[in-house]
Amino acid sequence: MEYANLRRQAASLKRSLFDQGYLDEQFCQVEDLQDEASPNFAEEVVSLFFKDSARLVTNIEQAM
């Protein structure tokens, strides 16, 4: 039961992020690359994006 509730919450959050424009078709494409061998692929890609983004912003700030 708890698992089903978490899945509903995750789906609701995902729908909200699409509605707000934070996610788009590219996110769906990344999700489609997930499989049983790499079930956390989308999470890893998004985490790397934010990690790299923070580093790049810091580099830009230091260059200014």
Gap between the Cα atoms of 16 and 7, Å rounded: 14
Burial profile 24-51: b = 16 or more Cβ within 10 angstroms, e = fewer: eeebeebeeeeeeeeeeebeeeeeeeee
Q: With 0.85 as the threshold, say if the pTM is over it.
A: no
Q: What pLDDT is stored for residue 48 in this prediction?
A: 93
Q: What pLDDT is stored for residue 17 in this prediction?
A: 95
Q: What pLDDT is stored for residue 23 in this prediction?
A: 93
Instruction: Quick: pLDDT tens for 5-53.
Output: 999 999 999 999 999 999 999 999 999 999 999 999 999 998 999 999 9
Q: What pLDDT is stored for residue 34 in this prediction?
A: 92
Does the pLDDT of residue 1 top 90, yes or no?
no
